[in-house]
Amino acid sequence: MRSITVLGATGSVGESAFDLLMRAGGPGRFRTVALTGGANVLRLAQMARALRAEIAVTAWPQCLDQLRAALAGSGIEAAAGPQAVAERRARPADWTLSAIVGAAGLPPGLEVLARGGTLALANKETLVAAGPLVMSRARETGARILPVDSEHSAIFQALQGENLETVEHVTITASGGAFRDWPLERLAQATVAEASRHPNWDMGQRITIDSASMFNKALEVIEAHEFFGLGAERLRVLVHPQSIIHAMVTHRDGGSIAHLGAPDMRHAIGYALNWPERAALPVPALDLAALGSLSFAAPDEARWPALRLAREAIQAGGAAGAVLNAAKEQALDDFIAGRIRFTDMAPAVEHALEQAAREAGFGQSPRDLAQVLHWDGFARRAAAQWRGAA
């Protein structure tokens, strides 16, 4: 029986994975090693009981007593703290889904790779902040990384049986998020509630706001660069409001292979769960006749400066991914807390990148977690200082 672990089980992606695992047969079909979550320990305990997990881990130490109480009588072990999230290492699993949000997903992801299992990666920040380190760790141990971000799963699927050498470019689509059709001058007044509404996907709040600012797509362009080894000149973003085509691979012979599907994360999670097989999934097939038409537009970089920053970060290389990611996390925290405006996020990130570029060692990719965390801390401070400097 295959053993599985879900990091970030209580989030949006984690809930979709739980739904899939339960429908596929739950504890009769998989041996669940560990489930991890944050403050929602009641839900975490419920999931751990349903899947008969060996251990449930909350990232928040102050939630441990509550988690223990919720697991009482189940025989399921409880643990707490970031270290405990990473250290399920004493308990390897064949397949681990990383569905934690933010750079916090990197340490447990690296732990999984060190042991050589399969890492199904929804946590795009792992590759954005530390792509070269993560990919070389996987090569050293023979660990496999399977993309779960829908666009990257789409590229991965479109590339099966194909040769990357003949690829002219890869296109990932973007819905345009909450403010696609807003007048530009209104963006500065956008509220957190307005930015938290996604037209097509039901996701966690942070990635939903990142979709409105296109920082989500910026991260995804870098993620595609790191995972598939494509330069910025071979990566394109296309605005596609219906989110039906997720990505498209265009070959030098003029042919393009696109991946289409309903905007439902259970497809990409289920594909990674069953890979290299395909299994039936509870995802409805597309009805293109009912949809009638699909539309496309080139992204406007005045509206979405994050796309330019992603391209520049790929060209800069070195620590730029770690800096862009962490500065974005800080700017997003500041926007959510009401300290800066929606349109301040990109300038704050750009400021952090400019400051970092003046530092010694910026041109070298971080070689270990400590170096990533160094740039992460630097970038958060620089992005926070932008408020004072602006």
Residue nearest to ligand NAD (CB): 11
Residue 226 in the binding site for Mg ion (CB under 5 A): no
Residue nearest to Mg ion (CB): 149
If we measure between CA atoms, which residue out of 134, 166, 165 comes closest to residue 147? 134
CA 88 distance to own-chain centroid: 21
Is the C-alpha dihedral spanning 150, 154, 26, 280 positive or negative? Answer: positive
Strands 256-260 and 245-251: antiparallel
User: Cα separations (Å) of 268 from 260, 297, 331, 337?
Assistant: 11, 25, 29, 32
Q: Which residues contact 320 (CB under 8 A, 6 or more apart)?
A: 312, 313, 314, 353, 356, 357, 362
* 38 binds, options ligand NAD, Mg ion, none, Cβ within 5 to 8 A by partner type: ligand NAD
- Residue 251-270 contact track with ligand NAD, rule CB under 6 A, x = bound: --------------x-----
Tell me the site size for Mg ion, rule CB under 5 A: 3
Determine whether the annotation assigns residue 10 to a binding site: yes
CB atoms within 10 A of CB 40: 16
Residue 210 in the binding site for Mg ion (CB under 5 A): no
Residue 376 in the binding site for Mg ion (CB under 5 A): no
Determine whether the annotation assigns residue 249 to a binding site: no
Candidate ranges 15-23, 37-45, 151-159, 162-170; the one touching Mg ion (CB under 5 A): 151-159
Site for ligand NAD in 39-68 (CB under 6 A): 59
Helix, strand or coil, per DSSP, at residue 7: strand
Determine whether the annotation assigns residue 239 to a binding site: no
Among 15, 54, 111, 149, binds Mg ion (CB under 5 A): 149
Strand ranges in 227-273 using DSSP code E only, listed in sequence order: 235-239, 245-251, 256-260
Amino acid identity for residue 269 in this structure: I
* 124 binds, options ligand NAD, Mg ion, none, Cβ within 5 to 8 A by partner type: ligand NAD
Residue 299 in the binding site for ligand NAD (CB under 6 A): no
Candidate ranges 47-55, 64-72, 99-107, 296-304; the one touching ligand NAD (CB under 6 A): 99-107
Residue 325 in the binding site for ligand NAD (CB under 6 A): no
Site for ligand NAD in 145-164 (CB under 6 A): 149-150
Residue 15 in the binding site for Mg ion (CB under 5 A): no
Q: What is the 8-class DSSP label of residue 337?
A: T
Candidate ranges 3-11, 64-72, 153-161, 353-361; the one touching ligand NAD (CB under 6 A): 3-11
**Closer to ligand NAD by Cβ: residue 83 or 364:** 83
If we measure between CA atoms, which residue out of 17, 1, 4 comes closest to residue 92? 4
Among 96, 123, 243, 343, binds ligand NAD (CB under 6 A): 123
CA gap 318, 93 in Å, rounded: 32
**Residue carrying structure tokens 């007044």:** 189
Tell me the closest approach of the beta carbon of residue 252 to ligand NAD, in angstroms. 29
Determine whether the annotation assigns residue 163 to a binding site: no
120, 269 Cβ separation under 8 angstroms: yes
**Closer to ligand NAD by Cβ: residue 14 or 176:** 14
Q: Give me 251's structure tokens.
A: 């070959």
Residue 323 exposed, middle or buried by CB count within 10 Å (0-12, 13-18, 19+): buried
Task: Could you list the residues known to form a binding site, using ranges.
Answer: 10-13, 38, 40, 123-125, 149-151, 175, 198, 204, 211, 216-217, 220
Using CB under 5 A, list all residues that contact Mg ion.
149-151
Using CB under 6 A, list all residues that contact ligand NAD.
8-14, 37-38, 59, 85, 99-102, 104, 122-125, 149-150, 201, 203-204, 206-207, 265
